[in-house]
Structure 1
Amino acid sequence: MAGSFSRRSFLKGGAITVGALAAGVLPVSAVAAPQERAKVFFTRDISVEGLLKVYARVNQDMIGRIAIKLHTGEPHGPNILPRDMIRAFQATIPDSSIVECNVLYPSPRRTTEGHRETLKTNGWTFCPVDIMDEEGDVSLPIPGGRWLKEVAVGKHILNYDSMLVLTHFKGHVMGGFGGSLKNIAIGCASGKVGKAQLHSDGKELWAGGPLFMERMVEGGKAVTTHFGRRITYINVLRNMSVSCDCEGVNALPPTAPDVGILASTDILAVDQASVDMVYALPEAQRHDLVERIESRSGLRQLEYMKIQGMGNDRYDLITL
């Protein structure tokens, strides 16, 4: 089993150098990159046009009814993705709905009724929003799971053919960071059952650390296995507070700059590239977010996704 990742190992092994990012120069691809490397598409343009540009490069297998999984946030959260941008983007994706699940922690979003009120408060009123566990849950198997053999997800997940994982990349009080993996693992787990399965170690409900990361990865693997090739990932590196959007108005202000949008059909590659971009920032800009990631053993997410065969941590960064 691989050991813990460090800042040095990420900067040494990643596709980006500090100098290149600071200078605004990003490689189109690695020199003579072998075929087995994943492809991650990048744009600095955080806008509808930027989203359309990266999505066009990864949406080839997106068919039928499409679930757009994003974090719609607690009431009045200051850092959540701009509704105008998402509205214009969603309008270009036929037969699509935003999907969410209820939460386990104390919140208006713990009940479907309260969740729907929060959706109105935060402006998610421009398209259907399906609270997938509104009518209960269904268990999805986790092939090769070490801690879990199945996880309960919102029952309505079965109504979709494909999933677009549209993630606001940021810090998180338990996960260290929230990328595509956390968006589907915790985000698709049902509020009453699935989230407790992922957050519990059998003794403590809100157990954190490496074990939580591994259980979260296994929850994500259930979703990626369910959709197979019909799932794709977009991470928006904007308003990257150390706080998750689940903290609402209590979220701390971002201290890292906006970076851009990353997209891939490989969940490990897109989260790895997102973390690499954070680590490649100047020290003063990355400090708070890196401290949050490392103090919570957040890099174990990437390490364990690789162990679980969920993707490739070696990638070509293709700038659009």
Structure 2
Amino acid sequence: MKTYKQAPVIGSRRVDESAEGSRAKVYFTRVIDAAHLISLYARINDAIYGKVAIKLHTGEKHGPNILPRDMVAAFQKQVKDSTIVETNTLYQGDRHTTAMHRDTLQVNGWTFCPVDIMDEEGTIELPVRGGKHFKTVSMGSHIVNYDSMIVLTHFKGHAMGGFGGSMKNLAIGCADGRIGKSQVHGVDVNNQPEDWNAWPGKELLMENMAESAKATIDLFGKHIVYLNVLRRMSVDCDCVGLIAAEPTIPDIGILASTDLLAIDQASVDLVYQTASNQDLVKRIESRHGLHQLQAMKELKMGNPQYELIEVE
């Protein structure tokens, strides 16, 4: 097992390794399979108890890059009383309504355990402590039915966010499909521009996402953990399905942490130090995606300083 104070590159900046203060632990393996996913989870799961939500991006129909179903199935079987959770989408794709979403889950093979579409029966407002854009954010109402949450994320690019890590998985993934996702995207729920290019983006979107995610992490407190799987990292999100661009960066591995900011920071760092990263880095920077990390830091959503602990 190897331990690093920090990955060499921190997005587009460098960090003083002699800096004082605590460091979060981020566990890392280069091997992407069920056994290593389960092994990393075992290092961070002390506070997971009761009814457990596994927040997963289940993807549009036949998406080429979504997490392997057999790997997720093997993992889910190790988590007692666990349920995959999702919400409907704001855009009119394969998961826009609950009925369409259920059909897509069948097509994509998410049939090995219960899947709770959390906004199927309505919404609930969760408070955003310290938010400058929101006092509350609208979430799928079922979110309060769970004692703990595992955020299992396919880390990749994103058309508006630059990248989608654990924070984005929470921020957009737990917000309900109409009100909450409209809030996060900064558009009027009843008067949305038809052209997505006219929607707010860049710094405002990153800050909105951070505030939405904060509502969820505050709800679960210490009973939430994060797993980022860095494989098949297209510049496009799994929400675009079959038209996602083919990844040009090689697979990197799996990361695990109890710290939201640390795991997304470490994931970005590893992308920046990997060969053939130009397409993904361009997507991140052109959307001002690194501001996700700054927004989380300002909201005290985790520690930007971490130890990267490599597990074979």
> After TM superposition, is the score higher than 0.5?
yes
Paired residues of 2:231 and 2:252 also in contact (CA < 8 A):
yes
Q: 1:245-296 deviations in whole A, cap 9, x for unaligned? A: 00000100000100000010000000000000000012xx110000000000
Q: State the one-letter code of the partner of 2:289.
A: G
Counterpart for residue 55 of structure 1? 41
Paired residues of 1:201 and 1:211 also in contact (CA < 8 A):
no
Q: 1:13-39 deviations in whole A, cap 9, x for unaligned? A: 369xxxxxxxxxxxxxx8x99661110
Question: 2:274 is paired with a residue of what secondary structure?
Answer: coil
Shift of residue 243, structure 1, vs aligned partner: 0.5
Paired residues of 1:11 and 1:280 also in contact (CA < 8 A):
no
Q: For 2:264 and 2:152, how far apart are their aligned partners in 1?
A: 12
Counterpart for residue 59 of structure 2? 73
Stretches of structure 1 lacking an aligned partner (at least 5 in a row): 1-6, 16-29
Q: 1:58-93 deviations in whole A, cap 9, x for unaligned? A: 101001000000100000000000000100110010
Q: Are 1:292 and 2:283 matched, yes or no? A: yes
Q: State the one-letter code of the partner of 2:71.
A: M
Paired residues of 1:161 and 1:230 also in contact (CA < 8 A):
yes
Counterpart for residue 251 of structure 1? 244
After TM superposition, the structure 1 = structure 2 runs for residues 164-183 of structure 1, keeping only pairs within 5 Å, are 164-183=150-169
Q: State the one-letter code of the partner of 1:309.
A: K
Paired residues of 1:185 and 1:219 also in contact (CA < 8 A):
yes
Counterpart for residue 208 of structure 1? 201
Question: 1:164 is paired with a residue of what secondary structure?
Answer: strand
RMSD: 1.8
Q: For 1:101 and 1:239, how far apart are their aligned partners in 2?
A: 23
Stretches of structure 2 lacking an aligned partner (at least 5 in a row): 1-7, 194-198
Mark the CA change 1:12 to 1:175 in structure 2 (over 3 Å): closer, same or farther. Answer: closer
Q: Are 1:131 and 2:132 matched, yes or no? A: no
Mark the CA change 1:168 to 1:119 in structure 2 (over 3 Å): closer, same or farther. Answer: same
Question: 1:157 is paired with a residue of what secondary structure?
Answer: helix
Question: 2:214 is paired with a residue of what secondary structure?
Answer: helix
Q: For 1:253 and 1:197, how far apart are their aligned partners in 2?
A: 31
Q: For 2:73 and 2:152, how far apart are their aligned partners in 1?
A: 13
Q: For 1:35 and 1:317, how far apart are their aligned partners in 2?
A: 16
Shift of residue 204, structure 1, vs aligned partner: 6.3
Question: 2:173 is paired with a residue of what secondary structure?
Answer: helix
Paired residues of 1:233 and 1:270 also in contact (CA < 8 A):
yes
Identity level (%): 58
> Quick one: which of 292, 299, 311 aligns to 2:302?
311
Counterpart for residue 11 of structure 2? 10
Q: For 2:86 and 2:156, how far apart are their aligned partners in 1?
A: 18
Counterpart for residue 280 of structure 1? 273
| Alignment size in residue pairs | 297
